[in-house]
Amino acid sequence: MGLLHSLGRCVRFMRSMIPALIALACVSSAHAETRVALVIGNDKYVNLPTSEQLQRAESDAEAVAAALERQGFKVELRLNATQREMNEALDAVSRRVESGGAVVVYYAGHGVEMAGANYLVPSDAPSPDGASPELLRSESVSLASIMESLEGRGAKSNVIILDACRENPYSGPSRSMGGERGLAPVTPDEGFFTIYSAGANQTALDRLPRADNNPNSVFTRVLLAHLGDPVPLGELAKTLQREVSALAATADHKQLPAYYDQMQDEVTIAGLAPSGKGTTSVVPQTAAAVDREAMLWQYVADSNDIGQLQSYLDQYPKGTFAGAARAKIKSLQQAASSSGEQQVALAEHPPRQSQNSGARAGTTFRDCNDACPEMVVIPPGSFTMGSPDSEQGRFANESPQHRVTIGNRLAVGKYDVTFAEWDACVAAGGCNGYRPEDQGWGRDNRPVINVSWDDSQAYVTWLSRKTGKQYRLLSESEWEYAERAGTSSAYYWGDTASHDYANYGSDTCCSGVAQGRDQWVNTSPVGSFAPNAFGLYDMLGNVWQWTQDCYADNYNGTPSDGGASATGDCSRRVLRGGSWVINPQDLRSASRDGDSATFRDGDHGFRVARTY
Q: Which of 301, 352, 344 has its CA nearest to residue 322?
A: 301
Residue 4 lies in a domain: no
Q: What is the total count of domains within the chain?
A: 3
Q: What would the pLDDT profile of 325-359 be if each residue is shown by its tens digit?
A: 787 787 777 776 554 433 222 223 333 333 333 45
Q: What would the pLDDT profile of 492-508 be if each residue is shown by its tens digit?
A: 989 999 999 999 999 88
Residue 254 lies in a domain: yes
Residue 38 near residue 93, CB atoms below 8 Å? yes
Three-state DSSP string of 290-312: CCHHHHHHHHHCCCCCHHHHHHH
Residue 22 lies in a domain: no
- C-alpha to C-alpha distance for 396 and 468, rounded to whole angstroms: 41
Residue 131 near residue 176, CB atoms below 8 Å? no
Q: Which of 205, 199, 200 has its CA nearest to residue 222?
A: 205
Orientation angle between helical segments 218-226 and 233-249, nearest 10 degrees = 140
C-alpha neighbours within 13 Å on the C-beta side of residue 555: 22
CATH number at 91 reads: 3.40.50.1460
How many residues are there in the chain? 612
Check whether residue 213 and residue 69 sit in a common domain: yes
Q: What would the pLDDT profile of 232-273 be if each residue is shown by its tens digit?
A: 888 899 989 988 888 888 777 888 898 888 887 777 775 544
Three-state DSSP string of 479-511: HHHHHHCCCCCCECCECCCCCCCCCCECCCCCC
Check whether residue 350 and residue 373 sit in a common domain: no
Average pLDDT over the chain reads 81
By CB neighbour count within 10 A (0-12 exposed, 13-18 middle, 19+ buried), where does 86 fall?
buried
Residue 11 lies in a domain: no
Check whether residue 285 and residue 298 sit in a common domain: no
pTM of the entire structure?
0.47
Check whether residue 379 and residue 340 sit in a common domain: no
Region 522-536: what's the mean pLDDT?
Answer: 91
Region 471-487: what's the mean pLDDT?
Answer: 95
- 14 CB contacts (<8 Å, ≥6 apart)? none
Check whether residue 579 and residue 440 sit in a common domain: yes
Region 41-49: what's the mean pLDDT?
Answer: 91
CATH number at 568 reads: 3.90.1580.10
Q: What is the CA radius of gyration of the chain?
A: 25
Domain final residue, candidates 289, 304, 319: 289
Domain that holds residue 203: 33-289
Q: Which of 215, 194, 132, 202 has its CA nearest to residue 168?
A: 202
Check whether residue 389 and residue 443 sit in a common domain: yes
Residue 155 lies in a domain: yes
List phi, psi (to 5°) of 333. Answer: -65, -40
Check whether residue 187 and residue 299 sit in a common domain: no
Whether 3 has a pLDDT exceeding 60, the answer reads no
Residue 12 lies in a domain: no
Residue 166, pLDDT score? 60
Domain final residue, candidates 355, 374, 409: 355
Q: Which of 435, 436, 439 has its CA nearest to residue 426?
A: 435
Check whether residue 200 and residue 321 sit in a common domain: no
Residue 537 near residue 526, CB atoms below 8 Å? yes
Residue 393, pLDDT score? 93
Residue 122 lies in a domain: yes
Least-confidence region, from 14-18, 76-80, 408-412, 490-494? 14-18
Check whether residue 277 and residue 302 sit in a common domain: no
Domain final residue, candidates 264, 289, 314: 289
Residue 272, pLDDT score? 44
Q: Say which DSSP state 474 is in.
A: P
- C-alpha to C-alpha distance for 372 and 348, rounded to whole angstroms: 32
Check whether residue 341 and residue 420 sit in a common domain: no
Residue 582 lies in a domain: yes
Residue 391, pLDDT score? 94
Check whether residue 306 and residue 207 sit in a common domain: no
Residue 548 near residue 473, CB atoms below 8 Å? yes
Check whether residue 445 and residue 484 sit in a common domain: yes
Region 201-228: what's the mean pLDDT?
Answer: 81
Whether 547 has a pLDDT exceeding 90, the answer reads yes
